[in-house]
Structure 1
Amino acid sequence: MSKMKLAFTPVAQLKPDSENEIWKIKVRVVRMWRFQNGVRVKPGYVGGIDLILLDGKGDRIQACIRGKLISKFEDDLGEGKCCILMNFKLSPNLGNYRGTPHSFKIFFTWSTHVKKNCEEIPNDSLRFNCISFDDLLLQKHDEKVFVYVIGEIVGPCDLKEITVRNTPCKILNLQLKDYGDSIINCVFWVKYAEEIHSYVQSSSGGAIVLLCSLMRINIYNGKLTIQSGKASTKLFINSDIAEINEFEEKCCIYAIICALKIEVPWWYLGCPGCAKKVNPYLNPETEEIEMDKFSCDGCETIVCSIKTRYQVHCKVLDHTGTTSFVMFDKEVSQLIHKSAYELLEQQVLFNSGNEFPRELLALEGREFVFTVNKPETSKNYTPSTFYTNIPATGHHFSNSTETTLSLVNDVFEESNNSISASTESTSTPTKKRASTLGIEDCVPQLSSKKLKGDVSLLAEEDGQLSLTKSKLKVGHVTKDDCAKPSSTKQRKAANLIPKKEKN
């Protein structure tokens, strides 16, 4: 009699078949929990073990081990472990609450065989199949199937005790916010309520990101909430896992620019390749600074052309508080429709080098959607400043802008280095204020002893700065020359200035 080796069956293709009732699958156990049957059971009683199994293609199926079979298979299984499972029973996946949307469910039998310590399956990144809040709120998901969700805790987190079936139990209501501004209401029971409340109470501050596995959907009077299961749910609170790290690194915030940090330079000289800041090149052999070269630590090379770029530091405010953001070249250029080089040239041309540009001051009081990118930091360090870009404008807070603006003076009334936001219309030019740092302070200081020959000047074409030799002597251009543009280039630059700024 010939022998035939049993082939692997993808989880998605598992279904009862009269011709083939023996299957073999290779899966990872992504969730494993014990459950009790009945309402009144003895302490420590275990009715069975449920598992969520994930194959290499990302498909899931629920499995169940009941009664006396628990002791036979439990030691061969564990969360995160990969195994080969053979000769099991398939039954319809019924019930009001199901672990997966698969049409069938696996039941272990006495003849089932588990082969542990098998080759790893590269599917660990698929273990959490988090659903978007928008799909939840639009009720696109089967409400009988458990869901995975991830979000930041933003709502109240008060622990209460209620009586259910004559038994006191703990309950916790809170709200989760996703990458954007979608919010869902959540209810956690008993041990889950106590776990979250304990973490929040002991937290020293900062965002709390919560990932919940296998939560139940509840829709009452058309309103959706998600609730923890009796035993299926597992919580990850600010855990060091890829999904939470990714959520922390990038999220969207609706906020208003309430202050600009005018004590910090708003521009820098950047590498045309990596955009990082460049430094004057010091020739180690001659011990002289070469005016036509710059060193870039990002590219680890010497560059001969540079670009003026924005780096605008600001304070932003939403209904939860304030934080510091940095907006860079692309975002600021889109907002004020002027490159950093054009704005810097304008400042120098009209002798406004010691003043913070009014075009940037006009951003105060304006509301944006910020996409926040968390800088790379050590595990236990929380950065005080975040890098942002602005995907959209014109969105509004859940509370009114007027209410938000009324908080600004309280937040910044003691700040001497920032500019308080104005409640006036953003179309009205903000009064100019003198910066504590001028353009001269931003340019690298060069030793006069090392300078030889002609003075080098910066010139820019198509946004790229290059260094060219000039016969001009220091002091050749006077203040009057700057105030009265004569060349075509100067007159063109003068048109960028509001009329009342012209002399």
Structure 2
Amino acid sequence: MVLTDEHGVKIHATCKREHIKSVQRKLPLGKWCFLTTFSVSQASGQYRPTSHPYKMTIGDETVITPSGLMEDSIFLDLARFEDILDGTLKPHFLIDVMGKIVSLKPVKTVQVKGQDRKVVQFRLADSSGNELACCLWGKYAEQLEVYDEREQPLICLIRFAKICFYQGEVQVTNAFDASIVYLDPTMEEAVQFKEKLMEDNLPLAVIEKRNVKREVVLKEDDWNDFEIKMISELFVAHQIHHCKIICSIEAVDTDWSWFYFGHKGCKHKAIKIGNGEKQLWRCGKCQVNITEVVPVFKLHLIVRDDTETCKLILLNTVATTIVGHDDVDLWDGSYEEIENPELLPEPIKELVGRSFCFGISVCSDNVTNGADTFKVLQVWSGDKFLKAESQSDPTSMIGTSSSSISSVDVLMLEDNSPNESEECKTPFPKRKEGDADLPDISSTSKKLCTSVKVEKEKEV
């Protein structure tokens, strides 16, 4: 089972075979109840239905009583297509995804371990034009049989889907029989998604047009019209917009590699699909197999101003602007996965302690979900000044840094003093995946108790 409290926090729950009928009767789907006296153990394994570090077990002593709480929400936690495609989400967690079906192949019957099984492949697109490959099996594939000839747009929501790889491409599929598939769903999130599609006024199948729209580079004159804001203001933003922030680089986030391998032509991320002597990759954008890839900057920086700290992502040529070197010049020539992201090239390490003016995009994920990572679209530094006013005290300025765009009017910022820069030159340590969901343990001699009786009441 997956249980949720009234705040939408979900947890995996199980019971033994002898309690199944009793639990089904006392804890039916969609009914709010009180659970008293249950055991809790560490959650582990692949295809975990929630990211909660623990799971509940309903036993002989568990008491289940009705609750008067009335709440019809199904507490969706929709995954962003970008996070699925770039590997941000861990494949051992099940996720919720929703999109518009833009390519639907006929349902087929195939042999799996000597038995006939139905399968269907299709592609979902989100409101930004990102496409995600999907594959459904068995009863889930049968749900799409009646839609083979449908001409109207079809919205598909898959709950508790698993992330996998097929022929070198990331895709989502049903997690055995645990998934739930909604076609043309009517819940609030689906209605908002449909409204977003109507606002765009463009068919999502025309991905080429949408990509052009997303890759527009704002001119310098456009940026002069955008406001300079403090980082603290970004976290209370109520609408999508562009702005500028003045801040210093506090650290390089080494939870991520400083580059990815991209298709030499389009620079889109390529996934390795061959392990032989000849390198073979798959471009997610061009949908072709390629043999030649190049490193492409993807810097994750932790920055700070006088009010707050946030994270920035700098891609490709934007990162080249502040690093002062091309990505290929800092690459060691190896096509193997970086084992220790903390080993950074010197020009990247030297960014720590320096200050810049960043032109950033505050996107829907920041406004709606409170994400603290912002994409950088432009960077200013150099020997000239861009005079602007902000609500905060003005930042002191000197002319020690340089940039490839110093020919434009730019805002000069003060590099941190030696003592300040020494305190923040150590990149953030890489978090181990195995420890990401577990509480800290103060002594190495202590071990987590694998099963604990909890004498408390929980409303789910």
Q: Return the TM-score normalized by structure 2.
A: 0.43
Asked which structure has the greater RCO (Cα within 8 Å, sep 6+), the reply is 2
- The structure having more radius of gyration, on CA atoms, is 1
